[in-house]
A and B are shown apart, each in its own frame.
Chain A
Amino acid sequence: MSHVRSFGTCIPAHHAVSRRGFLSEGAVRAAGAVTVAGCFASDMGQIHALRSEEVASELRNQDKRVILLWLAGGASQFETWDPKPGAKTGGPFRAIQTNATGVHISELLPELSQRMHHTAIIRSLNTKIADHGGGADLVETGRLKDPGILYPDLGAVVARELGRLESKVPDYVSLYTSTEGRRKGTSGFLGARYAPMFLSESMIPLNIARLDAVAEIDHHARAGLREALGRRFAASRRSQTVDSQNSAYQRVQGLMASAELFDITQEPAEVQARYGPTQFGHQCLIARRLIEAGVPFVKVARAWWDSHGQNFETHQELCADLDHSMSVLLDDLEQRGLLKNTLVITLGEFGRTPQINSSLGRDHFASAWSCSLSGLGIRGGVAYGKTDPEGHTVVEGEASAADLFATILAALGIDHKHEYTVGARPVPLADFGSKPILDVLT
């Protein structure tokens, strides 16, 4: 039987917190309200009430993590995971043999070619929507937009499923520092508790530092006083909502203390050097630091791959960045024993056309494109699915955005059929009818 998780005011009785009771207990509204159709989780107390022990499983104890390398703008499958050398549509670059027998990728990814034992490629995505906004909405949430409901994106779902209540670090961190195509990410009906800590202007979170006007000693003294009062209050009025208030404060303190996780200068110089000079490299290092500290989901957006002109030069630059940064990241995770618990995904909103236009560019294309999955739960060295010789269509193993979503959840050990209930509406974690791609899973 699938677990059912409810959100909004229409939740099952055994999980319900009455509005009057909730308000009287003065729950902390930790991160603002989300109200869509009047039926979504709106506060920390309510969310906590919904996180029953029956579903707060040992899954969370397994310290599973996800790093999503979001190739914003849409990387070309021809110049990355599905090369077609010699085809009219293939472009100028060769395919190179990887360390997985029979699997070839573009010569623009030489370092990753030697780490293919960690990686499964899916070459048969057909997501149909080839505009940036619509494509990203679909791929990020694994389903089409619905005017009646705001779906959470992958990061929010993973944060919800893998995040720990007692965690002092964020559950979902999203770095998107380029301005083009910038998307914050959405927790949808899961509520603001699972919204990303979003870094766009700086690689170190803004506005979480202690105010200069509050001395360090005062800061700690205030926290101690609040904790003491909270303990006394809770002793006679034990409830999930009160617990929620206490944990919200702990969480805020944790977030304030987490600033140093974003500071890569705390890493040895040799480690910093390995990740290289680019911002994407730096952000991959931040991702590793966050993962290591227990953040379940980190998204690093590398914009902007939208190569309508000069596709090959654009990919020479961006693939070099991806190839090196991701390779170092995989190595680093492996050396620290983290890769077995961490899923690393490369994905964008779509791929690029087989046709090469007059500007030597490739345009938007969602009918036959690729992504990669590495690490946790993934059968490495696999190239799943097949496109035709010129890359116009999927001819084998067609996969939708929902199938990919289900596959990612399955790699994490999460049942994609589990349902949230939003109002009276059952919402499975991955869309109805989706199927995990078993061939890429261990």
Chain B
Amino acid sequence: MDENNTPGSTEPPSAALIAVTLPNKVTVLKTFPLPGIGFCLATASDKSLIYTGLSDFSILRANLSAEKIEPAAVGVNGHTSYVMGLVRCGETLVSGGYDCSLIWWNAESGEIIRRSSDAHARWIRMLAVSPDQTRIASVADDMQTKLWDAVTGACLATWGDYEAQTPQGFPSMLYAVAYSVDGKWLATGDRTGRVLVRDASNGQVAATIQTPVMYTWDPTARRHSIGGIRSLAFSNDSSQLAVGGMGKVGNIDHLEGASRIEVFDWQTGTRRLEIEDSKHKGLVESLQFGPQDAYLVAAGGDNGGFVSVWNMADGKLLTQDVAPMHVHDFELSLDGRYLIAVGHQQGAVINLFSVSG
């Protein structure tokens, strides 16, 4: 195993190397069991220490540098339902979940610093932290986006602009939120495929993008829906926005739609790339651009999982493979050479380059 590919390697590669080297092989380096479904991931700056929020209501910490990865609980008496969002702001972790609460934790001691029990009126789906780590954004099925002071926990703003119900009269859901890398923009995406990009300082909607293919309404056979925007990622220069979900589904009993990504020059509303992958089906649960926006990493799954890497120059597939589990969240290493993923009952470290690469 290439030492440079392991977690804990902090030295950033040279720009020249990134510019010419694209991922060429997905390889699982190691896996570690989780006592439930890992829905969300936060990492320490060097990526060696990870935190994940789970379906058993806990937050676990794991040291990926250890020979044997043994996740341990962070604190007690936290959430009372699935933990769906987790971010790290310095030495503080902030988590949110289906219990509608946000909890501020001391990342080291596990002590609860603050709890906002009614942060949202309905289930919290995801959190995002601003690049300067001063703000936290949360989205929930009350269809509101809320902005929080990362230190004091004060709610700074509440933004609506989403319909509470789908066009067919069923409850909608607000799944995804992402900050731009420059911290100026905040993107959110709902069940019906509607993306709003806001000015993060005042909530003004700067762009509205529709991705209707991400939402499947079955009007005849099953009479309900599936899909929605499950992942959002800005490019490193903040000009592009990648939107992840699933294409149209025939039998909505299953996640059998093609995994789907749409990439926009969001300020013009131009869709640059439309990627559907029928080989690895299901939801694109997490997205991240690689260094210099040369490639886009996508992960998710149906009953299984996948990791795919797409060339942002032409939208072509660079490499992909099955993941050891349905991936719900991942983070790329600083050099973009490997990713840390959490998902159904386990976590994994996955290399994106062959040794020769």
Contacts and interface: CB of A to CB of B under 8 A. Distances in A.
Given A306-B222, A358-B325, A359-B302, 14 more contacts: A73-B222, A88-B36, A88-B56, A92-B82, A92-B97, A92-B98, A93-B98, A94-B81, A178-B221, A304-B224, A309-B255, A314-B226, A358-B326, A359-B282
Interface of A: 73, 85-86, 88, 92-94, 178-180, 276-280, 302-304, 306-310, 313-314, 316-318, 320-321, 356-361
A220 B123 CA distance: 60
Contacts of B57: 86
Interface residues of B, number: 41
Nearest to B328: A360
A144 B97 CA distance: 44
14 contacts: A85-B81, A92-B82, A92-B123, A93-B81, A94-B80, A179-B220, A303-B222, A308-B254, A309-B226, A313-B226, A317-B224, A358-B305, A359-B254, A359-B302
A316 B81 contact: no
A320 B123 contact: no
A306 B56 CA distance: 24
A356 B37 CA distance: 9
Contacts of B169: 276-278
A210 B123 CA distance: 53
A356 B55 contact: yes
A211 to B, nearest CB: 29
B47 to A, nearest CB: 25
Name A's interface SS. Answer: loop
A279 B220 CA distance: 11
A235 to B, nearest CB: 53
A92 B57 CA distance: 9
A320 B81 CA distance: 20
B193 to A, nearest CB: 14
B81 A180 contact: no
A307 B253 contact: yes
A86 B325 CA distance: 23
Contact of B303 (A73, A304, A307, A358): A358
A186 B330 CA distance: 52
Given A94-B81, A317-B171, A359-B326, A304 B255 contact: no
A299 B222 CA distance: 17
Contacts of B228: 313
B242 to A, nearest CB: 22
A397 to B, nearest CB: 29
B301 interface: yes
A279 B223 contact: yes
Nearest to A182: B221
A321 B170 contact: yes
B98 A180 contact: no
Nearest to B221: A180
B303 A317 contact: no
B225 interface: yes
Contacts of B304: 358
Contacts of A361: 253-254
A88 B82 CA distance: 11
B168 interface: yes
CB-CB nearest 3 A-B residue pairs: A304-B222, A92-B98, A277-B169
A179 B253 contact: no
A41 B220 CA distance: 35
A310 B254 CA distance: 8
Interface string B32-58: 000011000000000000000001110
Q: Which of B97, B99, B170, B253 has the most C-beta atoms of chain A within 10 angstroms of its own C-beta? A: B253
A92 B81 contact: yes
B135 interface: no
Contacts of A88: 36, 56
Nearest to B141: A316
A316 B303 contact: no
B171 A310 contact: no
A359 B285 CA distance: 12
B254 to A, nearest CB: 5
A302 B303 CA distance: 26
Given A303-B222, A306-B253, A357 B81 contact: no
B173 interface: yes
Nearest to A319: B171
Contacts of A310: 226, 255
Given A179-B220, A303-B223, A320 B56 contact: no
A143 to B, nearest CB: 28
B344 interface: yes
Contacts of B255: 309-310, 359
Interface in B186-228: 191, 220-226, 228
Nearest to B223: A178
B302 A358 contact: yes
Nearest to B175: A313
B310 to A, nearest CB: 23
B171 A309 contact: no
Contacts of B301: 358-359
A91 B201 CA distance: 36
A207 to B, nearest CB: 21
A304 B55 CA distance: 26
Q: Which of A304, A308, A314, A359 has the most C-beta atoms of chain B within 10 angstroms of its own C-beta? A: A359
Contacts of B80: 85-86, 94
Contacts of A308: 253-254
A307 B224 CA distance: 11
A317 B220 CA distance: 16
Contact of A92 (B55, B171, B173): B55
B123 A304 contact: no
Contacts of B82: 92
A331 to B, nearest CB: 19
Interface in B305-327: 305, 325-326
B170 A317 contact: yes
